[in-house]
A and B are shown apart, each in its own frame.
Chain A
Amino acid sequence: MTVVTYSEAWRSGLREEMNKDASIFVMGTDLQERGGHFSQVKGLAEEFGPERIRDTPISESAMVAAGVGSAMLGARPIIDLNFMDFAYGAMDEIINQAAKIRYMFGADLPLIIRATAGIALFGPQHNNSFESLFAAIPGLSVAVPYRPYDVKGLLKTSLRGSDPVIFIMHKKLTGAKGEIAGEDVFIPFGKARIAAEGSDVLIVTYGYSVEVASKAAEMMKTEGVSVEVMDLRTVYPIDYEMVLQRVQEIGRVIVADEAPLFGSITGEIASTISEKLHSSLKAPVLRIGAKRVPIGANPQLVSASIPNVEDYQAAIRKVLTF
């Protein structure tokens, strides 16, 4: 197996599929010279030329519309917004157009919108975790990979599919290294994986929070607590089959991410678990998430806004008290 960074995993999957399918092309800002803000397409403009690694003006609405139109015609566009914070200028194209085309017109819409999201630094407008917004829109599927392996595998599946995908990559994972698979490995949407096995408490999470949850799980070993961490990989669809099965077996569950708790993915999962498995639960479903605040520029404010590994440990201890 090859070890690459999270960004390189994107590039690897993209290159493989672009070599096989001439209808795949990427458009976004600063792709050719800069290779994207996260080096996600570095070198690909030289390899595939400016027609297929296409620099755009800063026109998010037109970018996504160009994706919708060209996808309806049979091309496979990837709109690379670099930062998801720029998707909000294209929300009609995402919500009213891309998501509804198949339902209205019966047309395939193989469109991928890729961007980074999640909480790092640089102030309120460059730090958002609004994946629940996209997951809530009927017609959209939402990938939130944690490992380079899953970045590549989910991208390859997206590029062989015929539906719109919101592909969210966490900023803090950009340079994180991990193994990737070869050309023939495809990861389907709606299939979670177990990141760390355990038997006392289950944490269901995704994206960068898999890292925090895994750290907490490791630390809890010293207290004799065995914590399982589930990495959802996609937040629409959610692998409820695996979630419910592991909850039934373990009985204590925490659903975690770094989005504001109100209206979040964690709320969706917690309520589904409670509805379906009330009698199998040894404790109420707990949730870990952010405060309902914009993310400030000051690092101490950032820390005060989102959960840290101590919050995870506290939640694990709490769910064990029932």
Chain B
Amino acid sequence: MTKPGQAKDFLSQMILIREFETIAEGLTLRGKVPGGMHNSSGQEAVAVGVMTALKVEDAIASTHRSHHHSIARGMSTKSMMAELFTKSTGCSRGRGGSMHLVDLSKNYFGGNGIVGAGVSIAMGLALGIHILKKNAIAVGFMGDGAINTGRTWESINMAVIWNLPLLIVIDNNQYAVETFMDRVTGGKDFVARAKSFGMSAEVVDGQNVEEVFEATARARARILAGEGPQLINAVTYRYFGHNVGEVGKYRTQEEISDWKSNKDPIDNWISNLLAKNLITHDEISELRASAKSEIEKAVEFAEASPFPDPNTVADDVDSGSLLRQL
């Protein structure tokens, strides 16, 4: 069972993510975020549950919708917000933007703009862990949309035949942009597909942070025990459009309201904690105020930061290492 301190930590992280996304959404609509962003509101429990169960040595690759993963991994919200603004102080120096948040010091190998690419790279991270004999696992996030790209299955097959230390987490918000997954997925069952490749897989309630945490901890232990790669299909829901400002008619208002009112990961976790007397209303208010203050500081930092110097545009295309006479 989750310890009381951890229970509160789950909440504070989910609140911080929601606050980040809420403020970032508004800033994007005001033109502060070139290109837009992918809001993860509604999916907080998946990120927080998974990341809390991981160790700092574990290596992670993520998706195009990865603000929640990044915050839950402990990234600085200042460097994240500055990256959304494409400032030189951003985690990718203004080169990556919202889809490529990264923190190598935390073994967080970045978001990815191409569906399925992150999970394939995570398989490579797992191979690297194996080759370099590290005591860690690799975690690849994918959206539900990546269930139908070939590289996902090439990578799962490779992870299975090589028994790689890989955990795949489907951050399954059920819609690939505006396409409901059941419409485009043969067999409709992600877990059954993974199992048919010889991969252990289970479905969890992605709105229940504790359930996600426990499933991840179990999967990590199995991987380190040599039981092979694991997959978790965490079913969740995205409150906003695919990109900022998109409304769309592909889901009903009733469906969205139902998820927000009855299945919200933050509200449900608060109810749970209050019922068990693990938190007070005052403490919740403090967490919200603290999150608001942190994100406001992140915005101030981003606003005050300089844009990248155009004279540096050609830096770091490559390192020049191949030109050296050894």
A residues sitting closer than 8 Å to B (CB atoms) are 23, 25, 51, 56-57, 59, 61-63, 65-75, 77, 92-93, 96-97, 102-108, 138-139, 141, 156-158, 160-163, 165, 186, 188-190, 237
In the complex with contacts A59-B158, A138-B317, A69-B326 CB distance below 8 A? no
Chain B hits for A71, CB < 8 A? 124, 128
A44 CB → nearest B CB, Å: 16
Asked whether, in the complex, the Cβ of B316 is within 8 Å of the Cβ of A72, the reply is no
Provide the bound-state CA to CA distance between A163 and B323, in Å.
11
In the complex with contacts A62-B154, A62-B158, A102-B316, A68-B322 CB distance below 8 A? no
Chain B, residues 238-257, CB within 8 Å of chain A (1/0): the string is 00000000000000000000
Asked whether, in the complex, the Cβ of B132 is within 8 Å of the Cβ of A65, the reply is no
From B96, B123, B322, give the contact of A69 (CB < 8 A).
B123
Cβ of B196 under 8 Å from chain A: no
Asked whether, in the complex, the Cβ of B92 is within 8 Å of the Cβ of A62, the reply is no
Residues of chain B from 308 to 324 with CB closer than 8 A to chain A in the complex: 316-319, 321-324
Q: Which of A62, A65, A71, A96 has the largest number of chain B CB atoms within 10 A?
A: A65
Asked whether, in the complex, the Cβ of B158 is within 8 Å of the Cβ of A66, the reply is yes
In the complex with contacts A72-B109, A163-B319, A66-B114 CB distance below 8 A? no
Cβ of B82 under 8 Å from chain A: no
Nearest B residue to A66 via CB reads B124
Provide the bound-state CA to CA distance between A221 and B95, in Å.
54
Cβ of B86 under 8 Å from chain A: no
21 A-B residue pairs with Cβ-Cβ distance under 8 Å, sorted by A, are: A57-B154, A57-B158, A59-B158, A61-B151, A61-B154, A65-B121, A65-B124, A69-B109, A69-B121, A69-B122, A69-B124, A69-B126, A70-B131, A92-B151, A104-B95, A105-B102, A160-B326, A163-B318, A188-B326, A189-B322, A190-B323
Asked whether, in the complex, the Cβ of B124 is within 8 Å of the Cβ of A106, the reply is no
Chain B hits for A162, CB < 8 A? 319, 321
From B96, B104, B155, B157, give the contact of A65 (CB < 8 A).
B155
Asked whether, in the complex, the Cβ of B126 is within 8 Å of the Cβ of A163, the reply is no
Cβ of B299 under 8 Å from chain A: no
Cβ of B37 under 8 Å from chain A: no
Cβ of B75 under 8 Å from chain A: no
Provide the bound-state CA to CA distance between A176 and B196, in Å.
47
From B92, B132, B154, give the contact of A74 (CB < 8 A).
B132
From A65, A67, A108, A189, give the contact of B151 (CB < 8 A).
A65
Cβ of B120 under 8 Å from chain A: yes
Chain B, residues 116-157, CB within 8 Å of chain A (1/0): the string is 010011111111110110100010000000000011001101
Asked whether, in the complex, the Cβ of B131 is within 8 Å of the Cβ of A23, the reply is yes
In the complex with contacts A62-B120, A186-B326, A70-B125 CB distance below 8 A? yes
In the complex with contacts A62-B154, A157-B322, A105-B100 CB distance below 8 A? yes
Chain A hits for B323, CB < 8 A? 188-190, 237
Provide the bound-state CA to CA distance between A108 and B161, in Å.
28
From A68, A103, A165, give the contact of B121 (CB < 8 A).
A68
Asked whether, in the complex, the Cβ of A141 is within 8 Å of the Cβ of B322, the reply is yes
Asked whether, in the complex, the Cβ of B132 is within 8 Å of the Cβ of A105, the reply is no
Chain B hits for A163, CB < 8 A? 318-319, 321-322
Asked whether, in the complex, the Cβ of A93 is within 8 Å of the Cβ of B128, the reply is no
Chain B hits for A70, CB < 8 A? 124-125, 127-128, 131
Provide the bound-state CA to CA distance between A165 and B323, in Å.
12
Known: A57-B157, A108-B319, A160-B326. 10 other contacts (CB 8 A): A62-B151, A68-B121, A69-B124, A72-B128, A73-B132, A75-B132, A103-B316, A104-B100, A107-B102, A162-B321
Chain A hits for B277, CB < 8 A? none
Provide the bound-state CA to CA distance between A227 and B49, in Å.
69
Across the A-B interface, give the 3 residue pairs with the lowest CB-CB distance, nearest first: A69-B124, A73-B128, A65-B120
Chain B hits for A104, CB < 8 A? 92, 95-96, 100, 102, 110
Chain B hits for A161, CB < 8 A? 319, 321-322, 324
B219 CB → nearest A CB, Å: 19
Residues of chain B from 86 to 113 with CB closer than 8 A to chain A in the complex: 92-93, 95-96, 100, 102, 104, 109-110, 112-113
Asked whether, in the complex, the Cβ of A69 is within 8 Å of the Cβ of B138, the reply is yes
Provide the bound-state CA to CA distance between A23 and B127, in Å.
11
Chain B hits for A141, CB < 8 A? 318, 322
Asked whether, in the complex, the Cβ of A25 is within 8 Å of the Cβ of B322, the reply is no
Chain B hits for A56, CB < 8 A? 158
Asked whether, in the complex, the Cβ of A93 is within 8 Å of the Cβ of B322, the reply is no
Asked whether, in the complex, the Cβ of A158 is within 8 Å of the Cβ of B127, the reply is no
